[in-house]
Structure 1
């Protein structure tokens, strides 16, 4: 059986080859605001770095700008949160299943946490149950977390209800964690908005949305909720397509406003090839927001 973590690391190696090495690690390391830091080493300045982090003496000796890098004195806890209901077995905008994209995103953040000495846990589930796997270190543990998501997000799963998993975290998790949430295109509601504000008062939160498939495209679409057909020949109607497009825009706007009002940094992807680039941008936006 192919290791899910191996796939994640292979994609990260490609990213590291194309980009300045250490950029993704550096952005992850800046997530926990106010964490205790010790000097680690120097690296080349890249656009977007804080000017205050430039080591001017080393820069003068080297002849080009160098940035001071730091490591955390204390270990942090990263909690991966995702839906394993049957919504995540549906097709995403890029043609993959949503759970495959979620596993890539969870794997990248989990592996960055591992590299930084942090521990990683998982909360996932559906409308019938919530599963919490304790935070530990090590690649073998991270592989188990990813495998759990892979095995449980199927067409036979119960309906999705990520609010239940978020409520579980709000009730049971003590201390200050980094919550990394991967979800499909959830609809903003007053109850979800209030729950997110409660969580944000205690934790740092990053949110990644996996985009739904385009139902106006020609395909035999059906609902994973009840297997009923969707759109069909109506997808060819300009009026139906326009109304559907407006509904998607309104839903996206509502979710974006909900996350912004809660102080949560959010992003979205349509397929796994976009994951690492979007996570880098997400981490950078989170750092700048602080």
Structure 2
């Protein structure tokens, strides 16, 4: 089971699957095959209380297992409706086109991740929405909880191309309204920003009193600086270039990177934003478990 599950959540294997719905189903079914826990399906009602049957009660709510054990009729009472709205926000700025040595870009990994999480959420009966942010276009797919909507969700996701800069926080924040229903927002980004525009948006979203899960994507070659020689690096959002002698710059870069990563995590957690870092050559099981933990705790 474990080998089967790992095989079908490896990004390099997933990159060979061109059909996004098939990819999402493959990931989720492969993941669940290795899990011991079961997920609630359907109406999203969690039954945790029982009371004695009274004339006029709906017979469909009778718990026959309780009757078999006690020889008495009990009605299952729904404690809480556990369905929620899950909003997926994707950073589609130019830096998300960055590729690791395995050829997989941050945006490709984002597609694998978000397509799979949306399918998993839909299995739970949740409404899913898609918001794609870059300076040229703001895609807004209002959350719904039906199969036709999920097909549209996957289609829009497959069409996303990273380009330009991230929009300013004020423009992006206007897409979202503070609503009263249960809501989990999943924000996928590499946190590459010009002037705190992504951080500002995260803080505004966090202030809306909904659960917010930040999925911070980092490529392995960024994390370990796996470059050699004197190279010219180009900023994928501004087009600016810089020549770097890698042996001389590696230690300084790694030191500053670790300091930034640690400070970023502290900042997010201090604002009650759930922060998780994902490396784009890692299998998706960590992301799926993280989503389930946040989703089930909130639902």
Which of the numbers 122, 139, 153 marks the counterpart of 1:145?
A: 153
Q: CA contact under 8 A between 2:167 and 2:197: conserved in structure 1?
A: no
SS in structure 1 opposite 2:237? Answer: coil
Which of the numbers 122, 126, 136 marks the counterpart of 1:118?
A: 126
Aligned position for 2:236: 224
Q: How many matched pairs? A: 249
SS in structure 1 opposite 2:112? Answer: helix
Q: CA contact under 8 A between 2:190 and 2:218: conserved in structure 1?
A: yes
Residue 287 of structure 2 is aligned to residue 274 of structure 1: no
Residue 209 of structure 2 is aligned to residue 202 of structure 1: yes
Query: Over residues 51-77 of structure 1, what are the superposed CA-to-partner deviations in whole Å (9 max), with x where a residue is unaligned?
Result: xxxxxx99xx9xxxxxxxx99636421
- Distance of aligned partners of 1:169 and 1:258 in 2 relative to their CA distance in 1, 3 Å threshold: farther
Aligned position for 1:32: none
Q: CA contact under 8 A between 1:125 and 1:165: conserved in structure 2?
A: no
Query: Over residues 82-120 of structure 1, what are the superposed CA-to-partner deviations in whole Å (9 max), with x where a residue is unaligned?
Result: 112222222257641111111122122211221111111
TM-score of the aligned structures, taking structure 2 as reference length: 0.68
Aligned position for 2:269: 260
Aligned position for 2:47: 39
Aligned position for 2:252: 243
Q: CA contact under 8 A between 1:83 and 1:161: conserved in structure 2?
A: no
SS in structure 1 opposite 2:157? Answer: helix
SS in structure 2 opposite 1:132? Answer: strand
Distance 1:112 1:225 in 2: 32
Q: CA contact under 8 A between 2:104 and 2:280: conserved in structure 1?
A: yes
Q: Which has the higher strand share?
A: 2
Residue 191 of structure 2 is aligned to residue 175 of structure 1: no
SS in structure 1 opposite 2:234? Answer: coil
Which of the numbers 109, 112, 117 marks the counterpart of 1:104?
A: 112
Aligned position for 1:88: 96
SS in structure 2 opposite 1:214? Answer: helix
Q: Please, which moves more after superposition, 84-93 or 97-106?
A: 84-93
Q: CA contact under 8 A between 1:81 and 1:179: conserved in structure 2?
A: yes
Q: CA contact under 8 A between 2:218 and 2:277: conserved in structure 1?
A: yes
* CA-CA distance at 1:125 after TM superposition: 1.8
Distance 1:137 1:287 in 2: 17
Larger radius of gyration: 2
Gaps of 5+ in 2: 1-16, 49-64, 70-77
Q: CA contact under 8 A between 1:88 and 1:99: conserved in structure 2?
A: yes
Aligned position for 1:43: none
1:1-12 alignment to 2 at 5 Å? Answer: 2-12=18-28
Q: Which has the higher helix share?
A: 1
Q: Please, which moves more after superposition, 135-144 or 220-229?
A: 220-229
- Distance of aligned partners of 1:78 and 1:93 in 2 relative to their CA distance in 1, 3 Å threshold: farther
Gaps of 5+ in 1: 30-35, 41-56, 62-69
* CA-CA distance at 1:231 after TM superposition: 4.9
Residue 134 of structure 2 is aligned to residue 129 of structure 1: no
Which of the numbers 14, 17, 20 marks the counterpart of 2:30?
A: 14
- What's the RMSD between the two structures over aligned residues? 3.7
Q: CA contact under 8 A between 2:122 and 2:128: conserved in structure 1?
A: yes
Q: CA contact under 8 A between 1:85 and 1:159: conserved in structure 2?
A: yes
TM-score of the aligned structures, taking structure 1 as reference length: 0.70
Aligned position for 1:65: none
